[in-house]
Structure 1
Amino acid sequence: MSSSNLRFDIVSRPIAWHDENDSIRWRAETPMAGYSMSVLSLAAAKALEIARIRLNLTARLPGLRESRTPDGLLLTPHDLRTGDPTIAGDLYRGTFSLGGKRLDIGAHSPFNVRAPSPEWQDELEGFSWLRHLSSADNEISRLHARALVADWIESRGARAHRMCPLRTKARRLISWISHAPVFLDNAEPVFYQSAMRSFGQQIHSLTRSLAMTGDGESRLMAAISLCFAALCLSGQERLFGKAVKLLEKEIEWQILPDGGHVSRHPGVILSLLLDLLPLQRTFTARDMAAPESLHRAIDRMMPMIRFFRHGDGSFALFNGMGLTNPGEAAAVLALDDVRGQPIQNAQHSGYQRLEGGRTVLIQDTGMPPPLPQSGRAHAGCLSFELSSGLQRIFVNCGAPTALGENWRRAARATAAHSTAAIGDSSSARFLGGRMADFLGPLLVSGPHQVHVAREEFGSETVVEASHDGYVKTHGIIHVRRLSLSRAGGKLEGEDRLTRSTGAQPFSMRKKQQAAVRFHLHPGVSAEPSRDGKAINLTLANRERWQFAAVGGAARLEDSVFLAGPQGKAPSRQIVIQLEFDTEVMLKWSMQRIMAGHAEIARAGEPAAHDERLEKDMSS
């Protein structure tokens, strides 16, 4: 039997350098390996950057602070994020639902109340909610938008310039430019001039904050916002060239060759495209040539949107991904002229996608991201998600939107993923304590080597991958082999836990305890089979699958799904406990035993036929 084989290893070492503006930057020979950089070095670099700002010694980004106060607005870009007039009504009544929290403030200013969470505060200060007032398109919403903008300028502007995170400043500038008509049209000259001064102050504040932020999505957002300002506000000719240069640098640094983001967060790609696509069209509207790097980045990123999507449109829950906004993904894909099939092997981003019929499997086969980008990364190496058509089956727990730091930490643990965990440990460790307060909850130790092999046969697709995230702590290597049939009705898996040849003696003194978990989507009902040798799974469309394992007893336990529209939701998980000395092999399988309602209807067969099918396939 012929096959197409692809093998590659991810083994890398980070390097550091000073850019032309004397700013410390970190990069790895492959983008996923910068995590091994010393945390103390990163802390020292950040402290140095902050000190230079406070002492007015910064030499970074020359020319960006030379922009002048604009006289007016030249054009407004189209916001791909959909506005909701109903939410505009809520805002008018003093109800602000932001960052997963709802606050009723009545007639009080939202900028003078105590925020229920940092996420709520950031979303408020980012003004992305202006799109709802724009969508209402009536005089009340325009007056309300103008009053809120004026309130921010008068009561919060000066302090917010100093205190807001860079990403919030960038989002506010983009939001103001995109929705300026809702608060500037027919405005009094005094307010109009006040808004123009605020635009200039925001540009100045944002460029100063850039000098304090070494790497990451926030810098790319800032570059995008400055390009919007240079294109859409009058008198920003001196800003234009510097902003475009910054955009090109950040795209080169952050967007990987396969279209993924250096953070390995699937949602970052969607978030960036929601801004990059309107920016691309704004260049066209100004009759200016957009940077070629912008076109290339968009062309690479579009297929990755399809790569991470299940059949129901939701993104796979890896490395900080939570609830998917279906409208945002649809808005981006509507602008995809190519409409090609998703790639299957995202080697640079560290993911694999397997498709068979209507079945989709997406697996994390990557190293941790570079240390400065790892604040939302999870310890989920080799975990996978499985869906059949519109129905999701196996999932990771996902990242919560607004459940607090304890839930965020729990969601990042290996046990919250559909993979194997040794004891109560995770395959990666996270920064805590005061250093986490200063640098963020970075992922500071994880797999150093991930080996991946993919084989395409005529009847199946096979991916075998391994990681050494447990070698230092337990002397164990995890190897996982997944095989999906071409028709999509059968998935076979092997999980092997084996002693590393370089394991330390202390890690080999006692038996090892491990658990292989398969978290189920809340829409899946599960119960043991009649003979107790398997677990039957029923999906929302009545499609039925059967899970069986050899080498360990499968049992059902409670779990929690953290990426639902209502926050956390109770769910179930299949857990297989293992105990071993030097090596253990678990074999398991998933097989479709009854088609769902839609498939039965298409085939024109009565449901009774599927009961016989179930008996045949169980035998």
Structure 2
Amino acid sequence: MAASHNFSSRYRRLGDRLTARWIGLKSFPVTDLLEVEPRSIGSPELGRQIVSGQFVLQGHQVDLQHNALWDLSLSDQAAILDLHGSVWLDHLAAFGGRKSGAMAQAWVDLWIDRFGRGGGPGWRADIAGRRVLRWLHHSVMLLDGADSSRRADFVEALAKQAVFISKRWPSVSPGLPRFEALAGLISAALAIKLLHPLVAPATRALAHECRVQIDATGSIFSRNPEELLDIFSLLSWTAAALRAAGWTPADLHLDAIQRIAPTLRMLRHKDGGLARFHGGGRGFSGRLDQALAASGSRGFPQSGLAMGFARLSAGASSVLIDAGALPQGRASINAHASSLAFELTSGRHPVIVNCGSGRRFGEDWRRTGRGTASHSTLVIEDFVSAELGPRLWFSGQRRDALVNGPSEFPSALSLSTAGQKFEGGHNGFLAKTGLTHARTLTLSPDGDLLSGEEVLIAVAARDKLLFDQFMRRQGLQGFSCKLRFHLHPDIVVRIHPTGGQAVLILPNSETWALSTDATVKLALESSVYLERQALQPRATKQVVLSQSAISYATRINWVLTRTRPPEQLRRERDHEMRYAIQT
């Protein structure tokens, strides 16, 4: 099977090269370019880093002060493709200023000169679609001060890439890569009059992908919230571009937007960021709210889970819990062993987090971030609730799939006078220990108290036999279960002198007190916070509740209690009202 996929990947690359070379030799006498509204949002912080000569690509920190962008020596194929995708244009535009604009123009002009005739690694339909969208969105910046010759070269390069995508988009992997390819194709074909005949077949293809890749609940197979936002943004941008050009988007296209919007709204924390699960990040500041507002959809899912995630929300608090089935097969190449992990945000401040995706910092960090211990959940010994398995081909690269995860993951949401309650479980530790993890989280009506109950239990007779075997392997000395609460780096934590309580202090001086049973050991350990905007992993802390267990049932109870000054309460209510009006 691996050999088959390797051959398929080689065949695809050959097809890309031949098609790119053939198109590169052709002449496209185009000069007209419809001005496109800039829609993609970047990070001013990443833009600042690039302008100052710092750049991190897949764990490689490169020096732009002494090297031109396209002269960088990179051995990592993923880093090379990231570079050719040109998302750095979003960050330069977000940072702004003359130097950013000059760098952007120089790098794009150099790309056209070196690769515009069909050479280089950037001629793959999804990478070309990503690049075309950025060129279009930032065309005003890129063409500022351009003479007629430079403008003609720019438009012709866009046209060649669009024609290439029209030939090669079926060769890229289903999911986000195809959406990127088709969105770039449609946007370029609408902006260049000569390419208008490409619009209709591309919109039909996009409608088909919406039907097969986005389910009735607005979910995708990878269960990656940020990837869902990426797809949602691409669909929204494309719909807006079609309408602006006098076209009517397909019903399947518009229906997909309306299905995704409520799901994304459920995955939004109170601070406007996304839940960080299965390889996804929070999203750049403001991007989620802008996308939701532009969609015109204001609904929430009626009940239950959203893409396998449960949400508790009250007052200024939001809690998001991974309660669904793990992604399978190629959809799992970025997935994490995060069953029953949760995140807590208070107002504009993340409090309890997961370590996040380490993709930006290289393969070792990427693998570390996928482990169970990198999430705010319960861990038995050093076991994981799902394992990294065989390396599968996806979008031209080999990645580890997630295997041997939970087969059962019951969950329920309920409401009572005590507040909103989540009850869930998973059997990811069953094969090794005979134990099932059950978690109950209750958020009070005012959002000031989050209580948790963790139970490890051998349910059936067969489970007890497995547990007995596990205990014999442990030398009948019992085993360690650890409940991890990873903290955002902005949180200051103090351990009470008695050792039974941790006080979490937020940047706005709000505090959360984490307390537990007297029989449970509370300790502070090191952790990391992995985010796209940082040059390196950020050091942070985690509170760990641990207990030795020897029986068929072990229980840990804990409570997080918040205290806030009245003025802060008023500001939070005002902030929530503004969000409700905007989205």
TM-score range, shorter chain: 0.7 to 0.9
Matched with 1:122 is: 81
Matched with 1:415 is: 373
Matched with 1:36 is: none
2:159/2:195 contact within 8 Å kept: no
The reply on whether 1:570 has 2:528 as its aligned counterpart is no
The reply on whether 1:490 has 2:449 as its aligned counterpart is yes
Matched with 1:32 is: none
Cα RMSD of the aligned pairs, angstroms, is 3.8
Matched with 1:148 is: 107
CA distance in 2, matches of 1:397, 1:142: 34
Matched with 1:358 is: 316
CA distance in 2, matches of 1:260, 1:500: 32
Alignment of 1:27-42 (within 5 A): 40=1
Matched with 1:545 is: 512
Q: Given the superposition, is the C-alpha separation of residues 413 and 209 from structure 1 closer, same or farther in structure 2, using an over 3 Å criterion? A: farther
The reply on whether 1:559 has 2:527 as its aligned counterpart is yes
The reply on whether 1:588 has 2:546 as its aligned counterpart is no
Matched with 2:328 is: 370
Q: What is the Cα deviation at residue 51 of structure 1? A: 5.7
Matched with 2:576 is: none
The reply on whether 1:386 has 2:344 as its aligned counterpart is yes
Structure 1 stretch displaced more, 238-247 or 557-566: 557-566
Match of 2:363 among 405, 414, 424: 405
Q: What is the Cα deviation at residue 287 of structure 1? A: 1.0
Matched position secondary structure for 1:220: helix
CA distance in 2, matches of 1:599, 1:141: 38
CA distance in 1, matches of 2:49, 2:493: 40
Q: What is the Cα deviation at residue 565 of structure 1? A: 4.6
CA distance in 2, matches of 1:475, 1:129: 48
Residue ranges of structure 1 left out of the alignment (5+ in a row): 1-39, 58-63, 604-619
The Cα offsets for residues 215-248 of structure 1, whole Å up to 9 and x where unpaired, read as: 2211111121122123222233442232112211
CA distance in 1, matches of 2:43, 2:317: 34
Matched position secondary structure for 1:439: strand
2:487/2:541 contact within 8 Å kept: yes
Percent identity between matched residues is: 26
Q: What is the Cα deviation at residue 266 of structure 1? A: 1.3
2:218/2:263 contact within 8 Å kept: yes
Match of 2:384 among 422, 426, 431: 426
1:547/1:591 contact within 8 Å kept: yes
Matched position secondary structure for 1:46: helix
Q: TM-score, normalised by structure 1?
A: 0.78
Residue ranges of structure 2 left out of the alignment (5+ in a row): 17-22, 472-477, 573-583
CA distance in 2, matches of 1:191, 1:564: 33
Code of the residue aligned with 1:114 in structure 2: it is S
The reply on whether 1:310 has 2:269 as its aligned counterpart is yes
Q: Given the superposition, is the C-alpha separation of residues 433 and 252 from structure 1 closer, same or farther in structure 2, using an over 3 Å criterion? A: closer
Structure 1 stretch displaced more, 214-223 or 78-87: 78-87
Q: What is the Cα deviation at residue 418 of structure 1? A: 0.8
CA distance in 2, matches of 1:327, 1:54: 37
Matched position secondary structure for 1:482: strand
1:496/1:585 contact within 8 Å kept: yes
1:369/1:377 contact within 8 Å kept: yes
CA distance in 1, matches of 2:102, 2:494: 57
Q: What is the Cα deviation at residue 196 of structure 1? A: 4.3
Matched with 1:608 is: none
CA distance in 2, matches of 1:540, 1:317: 21
Matched position secondary structure for 1:440: strand
Q: What is the Cα deviation at residue 587 of structure 1? A: 3.5
CA distance in 2, matches of 1:283, 1:488: 43
1:322/1:563 contact within 8 Å kept: yes
Code of the residue aligned with 1:367 in structure 2: it is A
1:483/1:491 contact within 8 Å kept: yes
Matched position secondary structure for 1:76: coil
CA distance in 2, matches of 1:69, 1:397: 48
Matched with 1:508 is: 468
Q: Given the superposition, is the C-alpha separation of residues 377 and 136 from structure 1 closer, same or farther in structure 2, using an over 3 Å criterion? A: closer
Matched with 2:489 is: 522
1:345/1:352 contact within 8 Å kept: no
Q: TM-score, normalised by structure 2?
A: 0.82
Code of the residue aligned with 1:492 in structure 2: it is S
1:50/1:212 contact within 8 Å kept: no
Q: What is the Cα deviation at residue 408 of structure 1? A: 1.4
Matched position secondary structure for 2:165: helix
